[in-house]
Amino acid sequence: MVDQPLILALDQGTSSSRAALFNTAGELIVSANSALKIEYPADGWVQQDPTAIWLSQQEAMSKLEKKLSSEQKASIATCGITNQRETTVLWRRSNGRPCGPALVWQDGRTANLCERWKKEGLEKEWKARTGLVLDPYFSASKISWLLSNEEEAKTALSEGDLCFGTVESWLLWKLTAGKRHCSDMSNASRTLLMDLEEREWVESFCDIVGISKTALPELVPCRGNLGKIEDGIPFSGTKIQALLGDQQAATLGQLCLHEGEAKCTYGTGAFLVVNTGKNIKTSKEGLLSTLGWTDENGSPTYCLEGSLFNAGTVVQWLRDGLGIIEKAEQINELAEQVVNAEGVMLVPAFTGWGTPHWDPSARGLIIGLTRDSNRSHIARAALDGIALSVATLVDIAEGALGKKLNELAVDGGAAASNPLLQAQADSTGLSIRRPANLESTAKGISLLAGLQAGVIDNLETLRANKGKGTELFMPELDSLSREKWRHRWDNAVSKSLQWHVQ
């Protein structure tokens, strides 16, 4: 028997889609996944089929629905959607047909356009109003590229039939059979088109990009009544009451509810997010100011964020590129066969650098190899490289906050790696807290939807159980050894930044 309301969380990620069911205590009941193909048509280009994104999410929902009892289905009170951010979709309003590929957040094909905008002196105002830098990572240049290179997008725009959206907008459109075209403020804050303080679309930025404001989604708070899942779709009739970008959702799922609390998610990329409360904090060293989440009235909680484009992709490359492991989890066993990387360093800039360098032309490298180096050293160096990249973000965040972080909460698939988290503790000097359930992203959106539906009263009450089942990783490296390690890492990174593909 089900004796309490349940919450449906739809978590659309870069490499897979997930549908999960949570109770009002934020505990995972059951989930289902569906893989999603990523295409790399040229160096630095990363794209997906928008229809495949939708079908993958629908398949995950169908798989989950089949796992549930009739009592569980009847107990679902609400639904929330969380998603890969910045990924850009254009489609026709009249028939819902995509106008080209979805340009994924990692895609770097618009580097030249961003450089042109910088040379035109546009970055200062853009950064002041959006909290972001002019980089291919964000949606604005992706929209412009699609409008310049996809005839269907050009035609739809000229006919007044174009819709733009990040992935939550696309899914909401599909789930409601075209009845709702909305973007929540957390996702909108990653487009380079929303004023962070005013929380409104900036028309002058739309003009630069070349898109009409009529093609933009309605800007809505992260909580609200956003429609319902239509007939013919799994979980039809369920109210949709929350939308949130994946990193913001993970921050909420880790219950980082107060200023100065921080989490890092190790998924396809690695993302450090620090709660800055009601105030927009800025960084001169490459961190982004972003909107965390809002209440139902649009009142915001802000965050600082550091974004690294490659984390889980490093492990995938060791598996699919080098072939030194057959399954992702084998990297841990391989890395633990050596005490350390013996001077080998792997810089994971496969698709350029995000924070703090914002250099799309940077590339990955392995340095420090000797005749004694073997695949175990490379595996260890790969995990170290992820941790050291994050450690740089931690330093910058502490500088922006003017104080040290007490601990770092972690989640995401790669956070299951003990050697990674020990390297994270050693490289930062922080205690690293890993929850029993690594699906913090889906948990976070379930909590927000539960608040809106009235089945969760207050997130503060859940903090009493925050430490339940968690593991702590404490630093084992002395400060002098840490300093030397970090210095060698900085030297390796500088070499990756000097690499430019001709």
In this predicted structure, what is the pLDDT of residue 360? 83
295-345, pLDDT tens digit by residue?
999 999 999 999 898 888 889 898 998 888 888 888 899 899 998 989 999
Mean confidence (pLDDT) of the chain: 92
In this predicted structure, what is the pLDDT of residue 354? 85
**Of the residues 223, 245, 267, the one at which a domain ends:** 245
Q: Is residue 165 part of a domain?
A: yes
Q: Is residue 208 part of a domain?
A: yes
Give strand pairing partners of 195: 200
> Cα 353 to chain center, whole Å?
15
Q: Is residue 88 part of a domain?
A: yes
In this predicted structure, what is the pLDDT of residue 180? 96
52/15 Cα distance (integer angstroms)? 11
In this predicted structure, what is the pLDDT of residue 1? 44
The average pLDDT across 222-226 equals: 96
The average pLDDT across 61-65 equals: 97
What letter represents residue 396's amino acid? I
The average pLDDT across 422-449 equals: 92
Residue ranges making up the domain that contains 393: 255-434+470-502
Reported pTM: 0.88
CATH number for position 326: 3.30.420.40
5/452 Cα distance (integer angstroms)? 13
Percent of the chain topping pLDDT 70? 98
In this model, does residue 406 exceed pLDDT 90?
no
Please check whether residue 12 is in contact with residue 81, taking contact to mean a CB–CB distance below 8 angstroms. Answer: yes
Do both 292 and 179 map to the same domain? no
In this predicted structure, what is the pLDDT of residue 283? 83
Do both 179 and 236 map to the same domain? yes
In this predicted structure, what is the pLDDT of residue 2? 56
Do both 277 and 417 map to the same domain? yes
Lowest model confidence (mean pLDDT) among 1-10, 195-204, 435-444: 1-10
Do both 224 and 263 map to the same domain? no
Strand 6-12: give its sheet, edge to edge. 28-35, 16-23, 6-12, 76-83, 240-245
Residues ≥6 apart with Cβ < 8 Å to 466: 255
In this model, does residue 361 exceed pLDDT 60?
yes
**Of the residues 245, 276, 309, the one at which a domain ends:** 245
Preceding amide of 234 cis, omega within 30? no
414/424 Cα distance (integer angstroms)? 12
In this predicted structure, what is the pLDDT of residue 502? 44
The average pLDDT across 10-33 equals: 93
φ, ψ (nearest 5 deg) of residue 212: -75, 145
Tally of structural domains, the chain = 2
Q: Is residue 439 part of a domain?
A: no
Query: Residue 328, SS3?
Result: coil
380-400, pLDDT tens digit by residue?
999 999 999 999 999 999 988
Do both 58 and 203 map to the same domain? yes
Confidence of residue 346 (pLDDT cuts 50, 70, 90): very high
